[in-house]
Amino acid sequence: MQQAASAPEVLRLERAPLDLDEINEALDGAPADEIVRWAARTFGSGLVMSSSFGAESALMLHLVSREVPGIPVIFLDTGYLFPETYTFAEELAARLRLNLQVFGPRMTAARQEALYGRLWDQGDEGLDRYNQINKVEPMDRALVELKATAWIAGLRRDQTEFRAGLRPVELADGVYKIHPILAWSKADITRYMRENELPYHPLYHFGYRSIGDVHSTRPTTLDQDARDGRNLGQKRECGIHLPRTPEANASLKSSGL
């Protein structure tokens, strides 16, 4: 059987490291648009952003593309997204004139299921493998192909335990991560969406407040955490935002995922 192509190395820094303590002290409490402008000045053409085109993704896409027109927007197409997600992405791309860059797994959904079965139903180990194939490796490849040195993401401290410990600017696996709305609350999100007349994902109004793949996303009630609807409560992170140890990077590369 033909072996899968090995995962690309995440781009490593070719510049003197930034003083993150000094930078984060300066940006602490800064408005989101100011953080985006700082990132654009600092990283220039090496700056990218990612979007899941989920429930409130229009906010970050509007905020960032207004400050950095033409910034590459990485959209991971796992092959298992809701039909509404695909149409929502196209609609926002047209409305906001996005420079959409779509990346997907090297292996089709049909081939994955034929060879490995429904990985998301195979406990933590299967779900981790699913995320490596469909999310982590495509994201690593996107960063390499786009020559990214910095990546803007819409993470917020109130979403997961891991994100609660983040700073506005971090360094992960050789790429700087920029988090403009890290300190925002749900009320801040709602206010921005309303003031700028931005659309929510079509499924948001049906109780889907955190939206990922069709097989591992379910609606939640208002008394639940929004991310309780992701991966059927098994996981809080898909892997693309978690820093990896050198051992984990070596394992990923050797696995062919």
Go through the chain and tell me how many residues it has.
Answer: 257
Sign of the CA dihedral with 109 first, then 111, 114, and 117 last: negative
Q: Residues 50, 151: contact at Cβ < 8 Å?
A: yes
Q: Residues 32, 184: contact at Cβ < 8 Å?
A: yes
Q: What is the CA radius of gyration of the chain?
A: 18
CB-based contacts of 187, cutoff 8 Å, min separation 6:
none
The residues carrying an active-site annotation are 238
Burial of 201 (0-12, 13-18, 19+ CB in 10 A): buried
